[in-house]
Amino acid sequence: MVTNHNGIADKLLSNDKLYNSMKGNWQRTAKSGSGNITTTTGREGGKFYIKREQHNVEAIKRECKLYREAAERGVPDPLAPIMPDGKLGYRWMNLPKVISVRICDDYFGGMPWEAIKQDKTLKAQFYKVVQSEYPEFICYPGGKLPIPVDAPYPTKVGQQRFFKGI
C-alpha cells in the first residue's frame, strides 16, 4: 500500500513499469530515535507496504488511566491548558503516534495531525474518532472530551457516507 508516509521515492517507483515488472520481495526495518516505534517498509507480491509498531502503548494507557483518576479526584495539573473560563483545565488525551497516523490514514486520507488540528471541524472529527475507538487514551475527567464544535463523525476512506438510493 502506497501512502504519503512512504515518501516520494516509493510513489515514483510504484509508477515505474520496469520496477513493477521485476520480481522480488524486500523489507527494511528501522527504529525511531527514542526506540519506541519500529517501522517496517517493504514490497511483497508487487505491493508496497508500511507497518508501524509502538512499544510503549501499554505504558501510555496506564498513564492516561492514572491521570484521569487523579483529575476526577480534583488534583490540579500545573502543565494543563487554561480553559476559556480562565480556570486551569486538564489534558485531553495522550495518543500514541502510531494510532494518530492510523486515524489520519483511515479517516482523513493521510492528512497529518499537524494539518488537521489547524481546522476546527477536522479537529473535532479527529477527537470524535479518538473518543469512540480509542477511549483508553483519553485523559480528560469522565472519559469524554469536551468537543466545542458539533461535527459529523468522519467516514473512513473508501466508504460511502450516505445511501445512494436505487
**Residue 110 CB contacts under 8 Å (≥ 6 apart), including other chains:** 3, 4, 5, 104
Contact at 8 Å (CB) between 80 and 129? no
What residue spans of 16-163 are helical by DSSP H? 17-21, 57-72, 97-108, 113-116, 120-133
pLDDT, average across residues 133-154 = 91
Query: What is the pLDDT, as a whole number, of residue 14?
Result: 64
Q: What is the pLDDT of residues 19-34, one digit of tens each?
A: 555 557 888 899 988 8
Cell 490540579, residue?
A: 76
In this predicted structure, the answer to whether residue 128 has a pLDDT above a threshold of 90 is: yes
Query: What is the pLDDT, as a whole number, of residue 20?
Result: 56
Q: What is the pLDDT of residues 37-72, one digit of tens each?
A: 999 988 888 788 889 999 999 999 999 999 999 999
Query: Rounded mean pLDDT of the chain?
Result: 84
- Per-residue pLDDT band for 73 (boundaries 50, 70, 90) equals very high
As separate numbers, helices (DSSP H) first and strands (DSSP E) second, the chain gives 6, 3
CA dist., res. 87 & res. 22, Å (int): 62
> Coil, helix or strand for 99?
helix
pTM of the model: 0.76
